């Protein structure tokens, strides 16, 4: 058991043990083992307890990271969990899927010279222990109040708002078009990063706490937005963004050229035991195929690593910039490389080749990084005469996500959206142009991280309460 903090001068960074690449290529189990109590305590004790905790500053939730690290080092795990849960609705999920190397750990004060504290692994250890010990309780309010909210979307933002308002006694109903709760946490993120039981146990707990879920419900078809507004004191739009960005090149309509989310959803549904005809037919199954994934974000990493596990004969990630400029987590890139993924850096697709309507390859060209643009990011420019062909039986487009046409989908043309299709809100109140209708998460900010969805969901719950009751939420109430 650690006796004091600032042990980074004595103890080196140790991450959780990781299953070997050869073993983890064969299944979808999480790749990291859980910290032992001794190692969690020791690694938490490396925290410098600095006066300005940049780990907290660079966490979207401003988690009180030094506090729960100190409590973990002292063996006070239940208190550590209470501190973690005070600012984070899903610490067990953030400990698994957050890109800590870009957020908290990447800004750790001791990172230069001593390597950062393994914040994500300790967070996962704390909350997994809390679930094992029964410290995580359903959101049961101390008293009921006569206020009702309808939430469209059961992803991170919607669920974070649902829990926060339920704890304050609100009647909460969550509507979702899919048959399970969790949004992209269920259907978009593979099991090797986030096992589905981690998400589904939250659904069971929320139902126990009185949150009602109406699944397989499409707003605009099964119920209108106007009906929801009449039924509830406030409505929250937290649908996320699901429309795949396309690539306008020749051959994009060939068989075997598929969007990333279709591919990941098929894999996750098959893992959940669903009947997935597209997977069974091979259309969305990489087994025995040469796979090319186009893109460089975390979704692209999910795709290449899923293809490896499905038994692809060759997996290549085609990205138009270099490794240093990749938007995805470097930790995920390293895991993919260990598992046998090949990266074609500074390569951009110019078209797809095919025979008999089926893709056979990607026609690509080499790129080089030029001068920075207005954002400061280097522009990419093609190198004439550097064209090449990457053979492929399956091409997965992981180019990001855009909002769907919500005014048309909801049959509510009055709902204002931005020129990018995101829902337009008053940034102070988070309310749309429709009175009593709020929006939060990716549908407002664009495709982003789970942790930002949680932040937005918690914030919008406060704004909904203020709008309905006419009273600002006090600091004590906001920190339940």
Return d(Cα 75, Cα 416) in angstroms, integer: 51
Sign, CA dihedral 285-286-290-296, equals positive
Q: Given this model, what pLDDT does residue 425 score? A: 98
Query: pLDDT per residue over 153-185, tens digit each?
Result: 999 999 999 999 999 999 999 999 999 999 999
Averaged pLDDT for residues 435-452: 97
pLDDT band at 377 (very low <50, low <70, confident <90, very high): confident
pLDDT tens-place string over residues 188-246: 999 999 999 999 999 999 999 999 999 999 999 999 999 999 999 999 999 999 999 99
pLDDT of residue 477: 39
Q: What is the pLDDT of residue 187?
A: 95
Q: What percent of the chain has pLDDT over 90?
A: 92
Average pLDDT of span 353-372: 95
Report whether pLDDT(440) > 80. Answer: yes
Residue 349 has pLDDT above 50, yes or no: yes
Question: Comparing C-alpha atoms, which of 467, 471, 470 is closest to residue 434?
Answer: 467
Please indicate whether residue 163 or residue 471 has the higher confidence score (pLDDT): 163
Nearest to 55 by CA among 111, 138, 113, 9: 111
φ, ψ of residue 243 to 5 degrees: the values are: -80, 120
Angle in degrees, CA 270, 338, 393, rounded to 5: 50
Q: Is the pLDDT of residue 380 over 80?
A: yes
Distance set, CA 223 to CA 158, 175, 214, 341, 411 (Å):
18, 10, 11, 45, 10
Does the CA dihedral 134-135-136-137 come out positive or negative? positive
With pLDDT > 70 as the criterion, what percentage of the chain qualifies?
98
- C-beta separation of 159 from 174 below 8 A: yes
Report helix, strand or coil for 394.
strand
Place of tokens 């929250």: 236
- Contacts of residue 133, defined as CB under 8 A and 6 or more positions apart, other chains included, come to 77, 78
* Mean confidence (pLDDT) of the chain: 95
Q: What is the pLDDT of residue 471?
A: 79
* Residue 333: HSE in the Cβ half-sphere, 13 Å Cα cutoff: 19
pTM attached to this predicted model: 0.94
């Amino acid at each position: 058991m650690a006796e004091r903090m600032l042990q980074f001068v004595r103890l080196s960074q140790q991450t959780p043990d990781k299953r070997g690449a050869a073993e983890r290529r064969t299944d979808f189990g999480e790749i990291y083992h859980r910290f032992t109590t001794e190692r969690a305590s020791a690694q938490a004790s490396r925290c410098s307890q600095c006066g300005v905790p940049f780990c907290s500053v660079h966490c979207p939730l401003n988690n009180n990271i030094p506090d729960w690290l100190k409590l973990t080092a002292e063996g006070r795990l239940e208190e550590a969990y209470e501190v973690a849960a005070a600012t984070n609705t899903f610490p067990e999920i953030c400990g698994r899927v957050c890109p800590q190397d870009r957020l908290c750990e990447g800004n750790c004060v001791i990172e230069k010279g001593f390597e950062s504290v393994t914040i994500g692994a300790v967070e996962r250890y704390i909350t997994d222990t809390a679930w094992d010990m029964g410290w995580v309780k359903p959101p049961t309010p101390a008293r009921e109040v006569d206020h009702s909210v309808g939430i469209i979307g059961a992803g991170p933002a919607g669920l974070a708002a649902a829990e926060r308002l339920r704890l304050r006694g609100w009647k909460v109903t969550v509507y979702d078009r899919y048959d399970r709760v969790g949004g992209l946490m269920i259907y978009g993120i593979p099991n090797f990063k986030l096992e589905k039981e981690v998400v589904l146990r939250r659904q069971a707990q929320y139902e126990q706490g009185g949150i009602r879920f109406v699944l397989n419900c499409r707003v605009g078809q099964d119920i209108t937005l106007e009906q929801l507004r009449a039924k509830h004191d406030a409505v929250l739009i937290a649908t996320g963004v699901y429309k795949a960005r396309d690539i306008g090149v020749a051959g994009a309509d060939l068989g075997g050229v598929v969007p990333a989310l279709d591919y990941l959803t098929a894999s996750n549904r098959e893992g959940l035991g669903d009947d997935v005809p597209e997977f069974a037919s091979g259309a969305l199954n990489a087994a025995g195929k040469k796979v090319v994934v186009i893109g460089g974000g975390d979704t692209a990493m999910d795709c290449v690593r899923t293809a490896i596990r499905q038994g692809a004969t060759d997996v290549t990630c085609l990205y138009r910039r270099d490794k240093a400029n990749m938007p995805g987590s470097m930790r995920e890139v390293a895991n993919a490389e260990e598992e046998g993924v090949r990266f074609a850096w500074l390569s951009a697709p110019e078209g797809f080749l095919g025979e008999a309507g089926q893709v056979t390859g990607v026609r690509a060209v080499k790129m080089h990084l030029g001068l920075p643009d207005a954002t400061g990011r280097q522009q990419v420019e093609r190198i004439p005469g550097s064209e090449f062909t990457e053979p492929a039986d399956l091409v997965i487009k992981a180019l990001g996500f855009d909002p769907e046409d919500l005014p048309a989908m909801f049959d509510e043309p009055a709902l204002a959206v931005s020129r990018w299709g995101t829902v337009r809100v008053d940034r102070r109140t988070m309310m749309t142009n429709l009175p009593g209708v709020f929006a939060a998460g990716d549908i407002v900010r664009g495709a982003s991280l789970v942790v930002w969805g949680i932040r937005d969901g918690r914030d919008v719950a406060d704004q909904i309460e203020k709008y309905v009751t006419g009273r600002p939420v006090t600091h004590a109430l906001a920190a339940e």
